[in-house]
Structure 1
Amino acid sequence: MFDVRDLTTSYGPVRALDGVSFTAREGEVTAVLGANGAGKTTLLRTASGLVRAERGQVRLDGRDVTRAPAEDMARLGLAHVPEGRGVITELTVEENLRLGGLHRPARARRADVERICGLFPVLGERYDATAHVLSGGERQMLVIGRALMAAPKVLLLDEPSLGLAPRIVTQIFDLLRSLVASEGLTVVLVEQNARSALSIADVGVVLNLGKVVVQDEAAALAADEKLRHAYLGF
């Protein structure tokens, strides 16, 4: 479903990605792991068109999207939730959600708003509230819900657990797992919390200094004590 081949990205003289290749299989969670500075966020930003690749290819459902503009990605089936819970605080929960589905027919948007509020009941409770009153966990749910409004085939998530209480993290990860199981969503999850990410992932990709160290089944990575200590911090 989502295939990266020899992806190379530089910021001036600094090479942030150096020939990165991996495949995220349809209907699975692929966790991208590594220390700060490993290239995880740059990988998602390059894959979603926010940063131009120097070399390599990104394929989405068999289609080359390497040079596609970021604003076209939602129509092509790719949704990216960057780190930082970027809600528009002046808008209501409903308005934030509707922004995520602007390219879709009005009837589909109405149905999807109801579906998202069913997935995240707290958003239904705060439906008419402006986003600035939401807690950090509620904002994270809102940005994920807004991304799902685009009906993506592939969802890129950058550090969704950052700064959240463990209970909220568990709730969000459980929801991701259920979406993968029930809807066949493909998730690429960048996470600093490697233990939690591997607990819900099917496959793990470990980056170090812009290069892939290993790609393997999540259970195998979690069981590899030497690799965990060297690259994953647990």
Structure 2
Amino acid sequence: MTGTADATRFLAMILRTLTTGIILLALARGAAAQDVDLSWRDLDGLTPAQIGDRALAGLDHEEIVAIEVNRAALTAQGEHRVLLHELPKRLGEVGCVRTVWDVTLLDAPDVSERHRQMALAGRRSAKRVAYSPDRPCLFADFVRVSGISPEQAMAGLAHLAEWRSQERALECGDTSGSDICTRPQAAISMARQTAPLVIGREGAEWWYALRPGTRLRLADDLTAPARLELRIPVPF
């Protein structure tokens, strides 16, 4: 009986903790809803800059010039993740940098379905960079930055551009089950032509995520062989 009673008390404690967390989350979301004035109907008539001013009210930000749905994010029913792209700026002679805001909106029930309101549930920002010596920043291909500064990321992208301009050795490792490494020309083409999605650094080498599960690694010494790694990507 004692064991059963202890288990019951433990379960009750867990339920109280979960209930408290749900209540706090609801309160936080309710408070956020007071900070933004957006409805589905409003969005159709606003420019990206106007939406940015409302969604980022109270935060320092540059003009928002583009908005896209964050399709890579996992969302619950009634939750919407959108990416707000600031106007990019030059970074050095050959680079560009911009801030991208990841904004979470929640459906908030209203008396009128046509004027359904949205509550602001979260806002966070991240830097993206582009190597663009011969194109305006507005048309550049931006790369997400992982654990390094924009200036470091630009150095890494310049390093990649230098490697791609030369004929260098490439090693290939594949645990994904594809046949890329058995086709040297296909591996070389992927390493040299695929635009990176993310850039980071580990030890004395740069890594570039070319697509989910695929990374190119370059040492600081460009005479060392580069390495293309293919793995089964994590599902989420």
* TM-score (structure 1 length as normaliser): 0.24
Q: In proportion to residue count, which structure has more strand?
A: 2
Q: In proportion to residue count, which structure has more helix?
A: 1
Rg comparison, structure with higher value: 2
Structure number with the bigger relative contact order (C-alpha 8 A, sep ≥ 6) is 1
